Amino acid sequence: MVYTFYVFTYLYTVLFFRLVLLIYPSRLEEIYLPTLLKTPQHRQRKVNLVTEGRWYAKISQKGNSPVEVPIDIPKEVANIAPSSVVSLHRTRTQQNPPCSVTREELILAAQEMDDKLSQFGQQENYRNRLENVLFQLYDAESDNFHQGNQLNFEGLIHIVGLLNVGKSTLLEILIYYFAKQGYRCGLMVNDVATAVRLASLFCHKLEISAVPVLGSNRQEQLTKVYEPILKSEGQEVTKGGMHPAWRWFSPVCPLLALVQSEQKWEFGNEPCHKLYQKVPVAENDDSDDEDLQESDYKQYTCPFYYNCAFADFEAVKGINALISNG
Binned at pLDDT 50, 70 and 90, residue 36 comes out as confident
Tell me the pLDDT band of 13, cut-offs 50, 70 and 90. Answer: very low
* Confidence category of residue 161, pLDDT binned at 50, 70, 90: confident
Q: What is the pLDDT of residue 41?
A: 80
Residue 237 has pLDDT above 60, yes or no: no
Average pLDDT score over residue span 234-254: 67
Q: What is residue 130's predicted lDDT score, i.e. its pLDDT? A: 94
- H helix intervals, the chain: 14-23, 27, 33-37, 75-78, 103-118, 126-131, 167-180, 192-200, 218-225
Confidence tier at 178 by pLDDT (50, 70, 90): very high
The residue ranking higher by pLDDT, 275 or 19, is 275
* Mean pLDDT over each residue of the chain, to the nearest integer: 78
Q: pLDDT (tens digit, 9 = 90+) per residue, 65-96?
A: 888 999 999 999 998 877 765 555 545 555 67
> According to the per-residue pLDDT averaged within each range, which of 160-164, 246-250, 278-282 is highest?
160-164
- Please determine, for residue 261, whether its predicted confidence score (pLDDT) is greater than 70: yes
Residue type, 76: E
Of the ranges 174-188, 238-252, 293-307, the best mean pLDDT one: 174-188
Rounded to whole angstroms, the Cα distance separating 58 from 68 reads: 4
Asked if the model's pLDDT at residue 302 lies above 70, the reply is: yes
> Strand, helix or coil at 177?
helix
pLDDT above 70 for 107: yes
Q: What is the pLDDT of residue 235?
A: 54
pLDDT of residue 94: 59
Query: What is the pTM assigned to this prediction?
Result: 0.67
**Cβ partners under 8 Å of residue 80, min gap 6:** 303, 304, 307
pLDDT at 170: 94
